[in-house]
Amino acid sequence: MSHAANRLAGETSPYLLQHAHNPVQWYPWGEEALARAKVEDKPIFLSIGYAACHWCHVMERESFENEGIAEILNEHFVSIKVDREERPDLDEIYMNAVVAMTGSGGWPMSVFLTPQLQPFYGGTYYPPMDLYGRPGFATILTAVANAWRDRRSEVERSAQGMTDHLRKQLSRDATAARGSLTPALLTEAASDLHQSFDPAEGGWGGAPKFPSSGSIQVLLRAHDRSPDPSLLDMCALSLRKMAWGGMYDHLGGGFHRYSVDARWLVPHFEKMLYDNAQLAQAYLEAYQVTQDPLYRRVVEETLNYELRDMQDTSGGFHSTEDADSEGEEGKFYVWTEGEIMDALGAEAGRAFCAYYTVKPNGNFESHEPYHAGQNILHITRSLEEVAVELGMAAGQLEDTLRSTRAQLLEVRTRRVRPGLDDKILTSWNGLMIATLAQAAQVLDSSKFREAAERAARFILDAMQRDGRLLRTHRKGESRLPGYLEDYAFTANAFVDLYEATFEVEWLKHARTLADAMIQRFWDDTAGMFRHTGEEHRDVLLRVYPTYDGAEPSGNSVAALALLRLGKFLNVADYSHKALTLLETNHNAMAQAPRGYLKMLCAADFALGPVREIAIVGRADDDATRALLSVVRARFLPRKIVARAEGPMEGEASLPLLSGRTLVEGKAAAFVCENYTCKLPVTETAALEDMLRQN
């Protein structure tokens, strides 16, 4: 049944627009809704989710399209719908409240607030009616409305108590002891990761199992400081199992959100921009360390997926692809054996099914009847093992698989695609720009460099207003003030873009963003950055994001961006603030390293020593390119790299390039520390020897 549009119809978020014709009289978060709650003295029902969220879709169908439930909401509550990707500040505050109330969290998030925005009751998904002794959503709504009417003082005391708890949990104690950074932080983090490692399937923890790019990156940095084969073994098993599992899209490239089992077999099929940016970066770093061709292929396929399916014509990257298509989770991605054989023919189909573990009766372990007989493509044996079984040469099988993957991908394009959340988020684009710029360097790819530049130009042209970053863009409209993460992720990405292009303008843009970030978000008393600026007036609390979850925290990436810029530009204040931030969080990193993995990477850079590498030579000179290739091929997590054709003067000059010249007319590399350089070298072998020395 179609209903008249509610107040969400004027929004740009695909998630909010999904609810624009519910019978619930939704409001977006804003002045109108908050004022109405106060004037009418009604509690707020706050529902937070995102467009690719499977259970958000379920709750909409079951409850928000239900006339009876809508009637209760419309009579007794002011109902507000929020896209967590647009308002991460609200999501963080109220998710912490839900976790405190119930012991767990997730989306859709369902929270009840006083008109003063204080939470007093909440949960996640609720079925519409009572079931198995558990109250349904209609029962809960009626009980909350009755409590608000009959036991107001009790509700308000509960709300104040929860607010006090959140303030204590999320605000920062200015008197908290700061700790000095030492390499032991990395060693202890690696030890902690070893204890929670799954030695059979790789990764950390059990089902559901989430990919942890941060764990890989910390282990690689710990190994770089103190080589230990067991650290690389953990990385290798995890990276291979993820790349072989059903969580990886073997036809189209890219990773799904997580695995519902501990074996990486059955994914939650949504695809997130931030996951793929971070995982591609982790595989890229592992490729630098090991030169394993599997890692390179995963990077290339993942980034090619983003360029093919997720890059907007404007240059920016869309946010997510849904798990569902045609109302069924995973339908776009799974196959019956018959579909494969019909598409490929008997011989090629047999080879494909053997390698990707396709079974006649399916391998999709699911309770949903529509998954019966379906297969999730995944790998359980090496190419060589399968080739022996099939009586084929490994090279012949590899060629067959390459061809059949392309054939099935073409067949798949004729299916109904999952829903696309095509909004462009500044922070997530920053993550992807950084990865593309790094891949452009390591893989010598002009395609990835150009894609990074297009996305960066889009942010500069479309995501700024009056010198301030905006959060989100869709269909020609940019809106909402940017958060700490928008500034931090973008500034850090622009540093990577400088190292990919050696165009000084990217460092200038990074510096402009860093200065704005400090001005708007830095809290000298707390010794770190706030999540929100003064533009965000409608929040219950000011929080300081430090937890590295599925996305890195704004403070973690801000620290790394400032450290790198401090080295490039010789700005002591940047380095000082980054070090203050890291020392403020020292005890947290030491006590719970798995919650601070990206911050540990920043601490690794701060601990140094940082290689300051200057390459002098023409961009089109083979000798210049050869020297750069030596630097870019190696895993050097603590480095900055600059290049110029000769001595630079004036505004374009960087301290690292000051006075650097060709050596006897040849391209030269200068390896420095604190701007004190060793003798320049012109031969690649000499540069390799120099970089090999710790």
DSSP 126-171: --SS-BTTB--HHHHHHHHHHHHHH-HHHHHHHHHHHHHHHHHHHS
- Mean pLDDT of all residues in 241-262: 97
Residue 175 lies in a domain: no
Looking at the structure, tell me whether residues 596 and 479 fall in a common domain: yes
β-bridge pairing 109-113 and 119-123 = antiparallel
In CATH, what number is assigned to the domain containing residue 201? 1.50.10.10
Structural domain span for residue 432: 184-326+421-607
Looking at the structure, tell me whether residues 318 and 352 fall in a common domain: no
Q: Residue 389 phi/psi, 5° resolution?
A: -60, -40
Residue 151 lies in a domain: yes
Cβ neighbours for 575, distance < 8 A, ≥ 6 positions apart: 562, 563, 566, 567
The answer, yes or no, to whether residue 134 has pLDDT greater than 90, is no
Residue 179 lies in a domain: no
Please tell me which of 51-65, 143-157, 361-375 the model is most confident about, judged by mean pLDDT: 143-157
Residue 80 lies in a domain: yes
Q: How far is CA 330 from CA 64, 392, 416, 417, 459, in A?
A: 24, 32, 11, 10, 32
d(CA 310, CA 440): 18
Return the axis-axis angle of helices 184-195 and 597-607, rounded to nearest 10°: 150
Residues 347-381: pLDDT tens digits?
999 999 999 999 999 998 777 778 889 999 999 99
pLDDT confidence bin for 171, thresholds 50/70/90: confident
Q: Pick the closest to residue 114 from 41, 30, 170 (CA basis).
A: 41
- Mean pLDDT across the chain, nearest whole number? 95
Residue 63, beta-bridge partner list: none
Residues 274-290: pLDDT tens digits?
999 999 999 999 999 99
Q: Is the peptide bond before 211 cis (omega within 30 degrees of 0)?
A: no
Residue 649 lies in a domain: yes
Q: What is the pLDDT of residue 176?
A: 65
Residue 193 lies in a domain: yes
Mark which of 119, 138, 170 sits at the end of a domain.
170
Looking at the structure, tell me whether residues 460 and 385 fall in a common domain: no
Q: What is the pLDDT of residue 647?
A: 66
Weakest-pLDDT range from 175-179, 237-241, 314-318: 175-179
Q: What is the DSSP string of 641-653?
A: EEEESS---GGG-
Looking at the structure, tell me whether residues 525 and 482 fall in a common domain: yes
d(CA 115, CA 68): 24
Looking at the structure, tell me whether residues 156 and 194 fall in a common domain: no
Contact 497, 437 (CB under 8 A): yes
Looking at the structure, tell me whether residues 408 and 289 fall in a common domain: no
Looking at the structure, tell me whether residues 508 and 630 fall in a common domain: no
Looking at the structure, tell me whether residues 262 and 207 fall in a common domain: yes
Q: What is the pTM of this model?
A: 0.96
Contact 240, 203 (CB under 8 A): no
Mark which of 360, 395, 414 sits at the end of a domain.
414
Q: What is the DSSP string of 485-497?
A: HHHHHHHHHHHHH
- Mean pLDDT of all residues in 478-494: 98
Looking at the structure, tell me whether residues 72 and 159 fall in a common domain: yes
Looking at the structure, tell me whether residues 427 and 405 fall in a common domain: no
In CATH, what number is assigned to the domain containing residue 19? 3.40.30.10
pLDDT confidence bin for 1, thresholds 50/70/90: low
Structural tokens at position 406: 């392309």
Other CB atoms within 10 Å distance of the CB of residue 73? 25
Q: What is the DSSP string of 591-638?
A: H-GGG-HHHHHHHHHHHSPPEEEEEES-TT-HHHHHHHHHHHHS--SS
Structural tokens at position 343: 């598409």
Residue 178 lies in a domain: no
Looking at the structure, tell me whether residues 394 and 462 fall in a common domain: no
In CATH, what number is assigned to the domain containing residue 651? 3.40.30
Residue 2 lies in a domain: no
Mark which of 393, 414, 435 sits at the end of a domain.
414
Domain count, the chain: 4
Looking at the structure, tell me whether residues 406 and 447 fall in a common domain: no
